[in-house]
Structure 1
Amino acid sequence: MRCLAIAVAAACLSQTVTGASASEDRYRLEKKDGGYVRMDTQTGAMSLCEERSGQLVCKLAADERDAYQSQIEQLQGSLKTLEDRVTALEKGRVAVPAPGLPSEEEFEKGMGYMERFFRRFMGIVKDFEQEENKPGQNQPADPNKT
């Protein structure tokens, strides 16, 4: 029984050590002049580190910092655009068409086509009516007369 307890304790301890070493292997430190270079083995990001008051303080490398800075500026611009749109929507200044419906401009254009169609169609109908109502023309024969 005692051997079994020791075996279980050893197995738990080895799993804890293995899990800790896996997370510790993520970063690699290499000594350089005046400090260290730390590389994240999962992302490839590199940081410059120096020892201050017994602690390791790391900063992103300049080129990575610039890349992140441009990304941050782009995201801030997108966020500002979205915030302005939300503000406008909340104030009711921007009409939001329902999904699948035409915009106001498309609707007006379609109505213009329909109006022209119906005006032209009604003109044709009036022309036919006028031709039919001309005296002596196109009069059907009276079936009662023989």
Structure 2
Amino acid sequence: MSRTRTLFFALAAASLWSCAAMAQETTTYTLEKTDNGYVRMNNKTGEMSICQEKSGQLICKLAAEERAAYEEDIADLKTRVAKLEETVASMGKIPPVVRDALPSDEEFEKGLSYMEKFMRRFMGIAREFGNDNKDTKPEQPTPQKT
């Protein structure tokens, strides 16, 4: 009987150990109480933050290394935004190559005149087509002889 008990306790301990390991894998953060508050550790990255309880809420501050990386990211983003703003501002000005390629007012009016003539002629042809179809009577179906 003692052998069965030992086997039972061994299996129970192994089961509890595996459940604890699985719980730790799924938990992102671990909190440890200190004299001044808490230390929060990210179980995936190992990053640590110092947390204090204020007004019933846990307030965590970034560690020095995290703060430096955070500030580097912000500086990089500020540089990228400045470049984008500069690009957008320069888009308001038409470059000389594009400006010189645009037609003059006379050329534009001449092109518009061509389009107007084309559309008037096209619409006239379309009207004639419509009138031609109204004049013709539909064919009478031939009677079936059986």
TM-score bin, normalised by smaller chain: 0.3 to 0.5
TM-score by length of 1: 0.44
More helix by share: 2
TM-score by length of 2: 0.44
